[in-house]
Amino acid sequence: MTTITYIFGAILIVCALFLIVSVLVQNSGKTGLSGAIAGGGNTFLNKNKSKSSGKKLTRLTVIASIVFVVVALATYLVG
């Protein structure tokens, strides 16, 4: 195995861990019954804050998934 294969492997591991964490942290978008009972803090500022941070997290997740696929294909072609 060459050095480039090890580097690609390390990048794949980091991307995979980031994807796992980012998908688990993301909001599901549905409050369900618990949100209806508890009230869920539906203020204007909370809604915009969650949307902006949610958009950033979604964008980072998409970028990480694209990097993961590209590096996986590059590893396959090199190795």
pLDDT tens for residues 26-45? 887 666 566 556 655 555 55
Task: Tell me the pLDDT tens digit for each residue of 65-79.
Answer: 999 999 999 999 987
Ordered by start, the domain boundaries in the chain are 3-23+41-78
Alpha-carbon dihedral angle through residues 20, 53, 51, 13, given to the nearest 10 degrees: -20
Q: Which of 60, 5, 7, 53 is nearest to 27 (CA)?
A: 53
